[in-house]
Amino acid sequence: MQRTLNKYCFFIFASIVIFVFLRCSGSASCDSCSIKELTQEEKQELQAALGRNFFFDKRFSKDNSISCSSCHVPEKAFTDGKSLSLGVGERVGFRNAPTLLNVRDASTFMFDAEITSLEQQAIVPIQDHAEMDMRMGDLVEKLNKDVHYVDAAFRLYGQPLDAYVITRALAAFEQTLISVDSRFDQFYASQDSSVLNANELAGWEVFKKLDCISCHQLPHFTDYKAHTTQMSFYENDLGRFRVSGQSKDVGAFRTPSLRNIELTAPYKHDGSEFDLTRLVSLHRFGNKDGTIAIPKVDYERLQNETELIVSFLGSLTDTSYLTAFP
C-alpha cells in the first residue's frame, strides 16, 4: 500500500511540474511566469497536491523513518489502529491518533481543544519528541535541498520554502479529506427510512432520546469542545487542564467525531478501549475506575438500547474518500 501511495504522490507532484512547464512554454524566460496566472481553483488544487507529498514524505521525521501517514492511515479513516502511535526510535506517543477526515470543518484540534487552526496543529507532531522529533528550522533546511519542493514553493506561494509554506500546504491537503456520504447522510438528506435498517433507525432515536447529540452534534457528530464525562477517569493525562490550568478542565477531552467509528478503534484519548459496545456502556454506566455498572432494574432494556446505538453508529461509515487513495 505504501508503495502504491508513493507512486500516486509522484504522479500528483509531476502534475505540478507539467503544469508549470505548460504555463512557461513560449515564454522568453520562466521568470515571467507568476502565481497570478493560476486561477484560484488551480492554485488550491496544486497547493493540496504539494501538501499531499509532504504528508507521505518520511523526511519530515528526524531519522526519515515515519511520515504523517504512518499515524494517519487512509484505510483506517486516517488513524492507525494503535492505542498510542509510535514515533521515531519507536517512542510511544502521548495520545491516540485522531481521524483527519472532515478537519476542514473543525474549530479546534487535539484532545485539549486548544489549537484553533490546521496550520498550527501541523507543527505539533513534527516537533514533538515522541512523534517526528524534527525542529522546524531543521526541517526547512532539509527540504530546501529538494529542488522540486523549492520550485513548487515559489510557484504556488511566491516565496521560499519555509514553515509558512509547509504548514499551509499540509493544511490545504488535509482540507480535502472529506467523508460525508455515509448511509446515515443519505437517510438524513432524503428522509428515506429504507436507507437504514430497523435497528439503525431505532438506534438513531435512542441516540437522540439519551441526548448523546448534545455533544456529538451534526453534521460531524462532535461539538469540538472539551468535556468531562462520568467515565473521565485518568492517570497520567489531566486533559485540557494541561493547557488551561483550570480545575474544571481536569479530565476534560475534546469530543471525538463518531463518523467512521467502525474504522477508528481503539477509542478514547489513550486508546484504551477496543470494543465499541463497551465504549457506549462506559458512557452510560461507567464508573470513575473504568468499571461498568448497568442497573439491574430494567437491565435487558438498557442493554438493548446500547446495542441499538452501536447499530446506528455503523451507519456512519463512509469510505468513498478512499477513491483518492488507490
Q: Are residues 215 and 88 in the same domain?
A: no
Q: Are 93 and 131 in contact, with CB atoms under 8 Å apart?
A: yes
The answer on 197 and 84 residing in a single domain is no
Task: Look at residue 295 in the predicted model and tell me its pLDDT.
Answer: 86
- Tell whether the model's pLDDT for residue 22 goes beyond 50: no
Instruction: Tell me how many degrees the CA angle 138-92-95 measures, rounded to the nearest 5.
Output: 95
Domain enclosing residue 272, as ranges: 183-324
User: Is residue 232 scored above 50 in pLDDT?
Assistant: yes
117 and 226 in a common domain: no
Q: Is the pLDDT of residue 181 over 50?
A: yes
60 close to 169: Cβ distance less than 8 angstroms = no
Picking from 156, 174, 192, the residue at the C-terminal end of a domain is 174
Instruction: Choose the final residue of a domain: 174, 205, 235.
Output: 174
The pLDDT assigned to 7 comes to 46
- pLDDT attached to residue 237: 87
Q: Where are the alpha helices (DSSP H) in the chain?
A: 2-24, 40-55, 68-71, 118-127, 136-143, 147-157, 163-174, 183-190, 198-209, 241-244, 276-285, 299-314
How many structural domains compose the chain? 2
Average pLDDT for 112-126: 96
Domain shared by 6 and 88, yes or no: yes
Q: What pLDDT was estimated at residue 35? A: 46
Chain centroid offset of residue 174 CA = 8
In the prediction, which pLDDT does 5 show? 45
Question: According to the model, what pLDDT value does residue 189 have?
Answer: 97
Q: Do both 26 and 128 map to the same domain? A: yes
pLDDT tens digits, one per residue of 255-273: 999 999 999 999 999 999 9
The predicted structure's pLDDT at residue 44: 94
Asked whether residue 143 falls in the same domain as residue 256, the answer is no
In this structure, the answer to whether residues 210 and 164 fall within a common structural domain is: no
Q: Among 174, 207, 241, where does a domain finish?
A: 174
Q: What is the pLDDT of residue 178?
A: 98
158 and 231 housed in the same domain: no
Segment 160-184 shows an average pLDDT of 98
Write the single-letter amino acid at 152.
A
Q: Which of 33-47, 101-115, 165-179, 183-197 has the lowest mean pLDDT?
A: 33-47
pLDDT value of residue 233? 61
123 and 168 fall within a common domain: yes
pLDDT single digits (tens) 75-116: 999 999 999 999 999 999 999 999 999 999 999 999 999 999
SS3 241: helix
Q: Does residue 148 contact residue 14 with C-beta atoms inside 8 Å?
A: no
pLDDT at 156 > cutoff 90: yes
- Same-domain check for residues 187 and 307: yes
One domain, residues 188 and 49: no
Considering the domain architecture, whether residues 92 and 207 belong to the same structural domain is answered as no
Whole-prediction pTM: 0.88
- We report the CATH number of the domain holding residue 151 as 1.10.760.10
